[in-house]
Amino acid sequence: GLRAREGSLPGNSTISLRGPVYLGSPPSGKPKSLPTNSFVGCLKNFQLDSKPLDTPSSSFGGSSCLGGPLEKGIYFSEEGGHVILAHSVLLGPEFKLVFSIRPRSLTGILIHIGSQPGKHLGVYLEAGKVTASMDSGAGGTSTSVTPKQSLCDGQWHSVAVTIKQHILHLELDTDSSYTAGQIPFPPASTQEPLHLGGAPANLTTLRIPVWKSFFGCLRNIFVNHIPVPVTEALEVQGPVSLNGCPDH
């Protein structure tokens, strides 16, 4: 059943509350006496003094309530958002990135690696075409695969990007494309952040024609054959669910 509790302030005490109102968890830097774990579940019809609150001004890791069973993966809603993983990677001349997508839109950033000018790798959707783009500091190059059928078919699709022997190679399911030639890439020396589903607006290394966030599900990320723990997010911006994807 429903269990409710109430309390009262002593004497003529009053309490004055001012915004903003945080739902789900307190922001970082607030009193340590508050719980640090975020609420897991759905919340709706929230009212304050019998009045509904306005649309949230910002969202940090909160997503729309997902009905029905969920399966493993990250869900990026249509409103737009992105994840910066705590797991950083070494981006160098020998590199392999593998992941799976189930898009609901044909344009959006899938994965971006790198924060230094002139050294990054990006994978994105543009009008249904999948493109891998890289910049080694001495110029950029890209390669694309256009699927025979739309990727918005409710099925999972595998993407693999490989850099080896100065060749940028892209695979989408059973289709592949590559760009050969001298791709000068300095030896891997620094850990680079891994952005999923989009990128911050102030990311100066992002030199691709697509800025729109990904809408759909993404899972099974491997870097150099090692699985990347997606639940260990350093930062979540916008309505993104790390707890699972709708199974359809």
Average pLDDT over residues 20-36: 62
Taking residues 117-140, what's their average pLDDT? 85
Cis peptide bond prior to 209, omega within 30° of 0: no
- The answer, yes or no, to whether residue 118 has pLDDT greater than 90, is no
Overall size of the chain counted in residues: 248
Which residues have C-beta within 8 Å of that of residue 204, sequence separation ≥ 6? 117
**Would the pLDDT of 2 be above 60?**
no
User: pLDDT tens digits, residue range 151-207?
Assistant: 999 999 999 999 888 889 999 998 888 886 666 666 666 788 899 999 887 776 667
- Of the CA atoms within 13 Å of residue 23, those in its CB half-sphere come to 17
- pLDDT value at residue 83: 93
Nearest to residue 87, comparing CAs of 108, 111, 56, 117?
111
Q: Which residues pair with 157 in a beta bridge?
A: 101
Q: Which CATH number does 70-246 carry?
A: 2.60.120.200
The amino acid at 10: P
